[in-house]
Amino acid sequence: MQELNDTQSERDDRMISIDRVGVKNLRYPVQIRDKARALQNTVATVTLAVDLPHQHKGTHMSRFIEVLSSHGPVLGVREISAIPLELIERLKAETAHIEFRFPFFLEKKAPVTGAAGLMDYEVTFEVSATRDTVDFVLWVEVPVTTLCPCSKAISARGAHNQRGIVTFGVRFREPIWIEDLVRLVEDCASCELYSLLKRPDEKVVTERAYDNPVFVEDLVRNVAARSNKQENIVWYRVEAENFESIHNHNAYAMIESEKAIPPTSRKVES
């Protein structure tokens, strides 16, 4: 076997280094640590990449899969932070960039009857690292109800409302729970969503939304205001997109803010 050409290891003379090279759109079963049940089974869509110095013709794609497979299925913040360093080691790279995107489930009780149902949220772990630094961004996508303040103010009855999606990414000092980010966002909307609502619950969420109208602008500002108050969050980006019930296009707003120290200067353990 050993006489097979190793084309990837040949010299490249174009003098152009590559920022990221690797594998994308790989699906992989993982276990995520959650607050309630310790470990939650889900399926991630994975990107793994490293840089490539100008003198090397190609990376070794199979090693990305080997690094991923060498881990057990459990992916906490600690495990996720370890993978980039292993990629750097294994691929002889300077930097690594990984993304794990997966549905995350929370059991939620309906507000009146207490009937329990599972809500799903899309979560992404995005980690960039060098040998000395690690930059972790945690993204949650939280579906919510938004009810239009203008529509309520001008109409004799009713108000248009709709499902919206808030995409919220944070950099943090101390590890942060997915559940806490979801809660932060849900508290900023006209109402939160549930998978299971009986009639008394539906009455309450309808009235709650009507009593708490928010524009897409209010939604991102509410998230920003709460993030600004949390010492632990050092950077955030919040986007909201409302699937307007009166239009066939969406309303959109975004705030990005670096609150504190630049994220890439944080050491892994210090």
Q: List the interface residues with a copy of itself, window 90-119 (CB under 8 A).
A: 103, 105, 112-113, 115-119
Residue nearer to a copy of itself on the CB measure, 196 or 268: 196
Residue nearer to a copy of itself on the CB measure, 133 or 206: 206
- Token pair, residue 197, equals 């609502």
Task: Give the integer Cα–Cα distance in Å for 50 and 59.
Answer: 9
Asked whether position 260 contacts a copy of itself by CB under 8 A, the answer is: no
Task: Give the integer Cα–Cα distance in Å for 139 and 181.
Answer: 9
Q: How far is CA 248 from CA 211, 220, 242, in A?
A: 25, 21, 11
The mark string for 157-186 relative to a copy of itself (x by CB under 8 A, - otherwise) is: xxxxxxx-----------------------
Interacting positions 121-160 with a copy of itself (CB under 8 A): 143, 145-160
Applying CB under 8 A, which of residues 133, 206, 259, 268 lies at the interface with a copy of itself?
206
Q: Could you tell me which of 102, 94, 87, 79 has the C-alpha nearest to residue 23?
A: 87
Write out the H or E segment, with its range, that includes residue 64. Answer: helix 61-70
Task: Give the integer Cα–Cα distance in Å for 117 and 260.
Answer: 38
Applying CB under 8 A, which of residues 33, 34, 57, 167 lies at the interface with a copy of itself?
57
Q: Which stretch binds a copy of itself (CB under 8 A): 13-21, 74-82, 176-184, 260-268?
A: 13-21
Q: Which stretch binds a copy of itself (CB under 8 A): 76-84, 123-131, 169-177, 247-255?
A: 247-255
Task: Give the integer Cα–Cα distance in Å for 39 and 182.
Answer: 18
Q: Could you tell me which of 80, 83, 87 has the C-alpha nearest to residue 51?
A: 87
Q: Which stretch binds a copy of itself (CB under 8 A): 77-85, 131-139, 175-183, 213-221?
A: 213-221
Asked whether position 265 contacts a copy of itself by CB under 8 A, the answer is: no
